[in-house]
Amino acid sequence: MRRIKTAVFISGRGSNMEALIAAAKDPAYPAEIALVFSNDPEAFGLKTAAAAGVEALAIDHRPFGKNRAAHEALIDAALRERGIELVALAGYMRILTPFLTGAWAGRMLNIHPSLLPKYPGLHTHARALEAGDAQAGCTVHWVTEVLDDGPTLGQARVPILPGDDEDALAARVLVEEHKLYPAVLATVAATFSSPA
């Protein structure tokens, strides 16, 4: 079986990245985590990735100011140089331009901590609690140029319990994220049979 070379994008500690790296340690897993990328050279997850033997790359967005296209051109070139075939956004907090989402259309997925289409963007747990929802959860979806709007690839649900606050709910959802993302990435990678 040919394993699909996958890059994981992070902006912080990278707990979903850790779950993907752990899943990919199984030789039968259809994706190889070949690169962890961050826009923040200080992102803690870069150290975690390097310690796991995965190439860790940072291209700081700050020197580019408002020129997102120039920053993304370097990211795109780095992915192509390494033969990356799939991109998994995992807590990557930059909004991507149509350049990068278009270049990787059908090959870039994201995990979001709500049951999309509910609560795209930030503060998802607070919004679910404020709305009085009975359930919360997470969604893996294809990335498009519209934020958190691509077709759904998988969801996991958790009940919202009496007395839940944002932290308690977020922690319960995160447990499900760490199961859902590796499962969905495996399904997607298994459908890829040739390099990009």
Query: Tens place of pLDDT for every residue, the chain, 196 residues?
Result: 899 999 999 999 999 999 999 999 999 999 999 999 999 999 999 999 999 999 999 999 999 999 999 999 999 999 999 999 999 999 999 999 999 999 999 999 999 999 999 999 999 999 999 999 999 999 999 999 999 999 999 999 999 999 999 999 999 999 999 999 999 999 999 998 544 4
53's tokens: 């033997």
Per the CB < 8 A criterion, the answer to whether 20 and 182 are in contact is yes
* CA–CA dist 37, 10 (Å, integer): 6
* Catalytic (active site) residue 125: no
Write down the pTM of the prediction.
0.96
Count of helix runs (H) and strand runs (E) in the chain: 6, 7
Closest by Cα among 90, 87, 93 to 75:
87
Neighbours of 168 (CB within 10 A): 14
Residue in 61, 71, 112, 125 annotated catalytic: 112
Which residue do the tokens 């009940």 mark? 159
Checking 163-166 for CB contacts under 8 A at 24+ apart, the result is 164/129, 165/129, 166/125, 166/126, 166/129
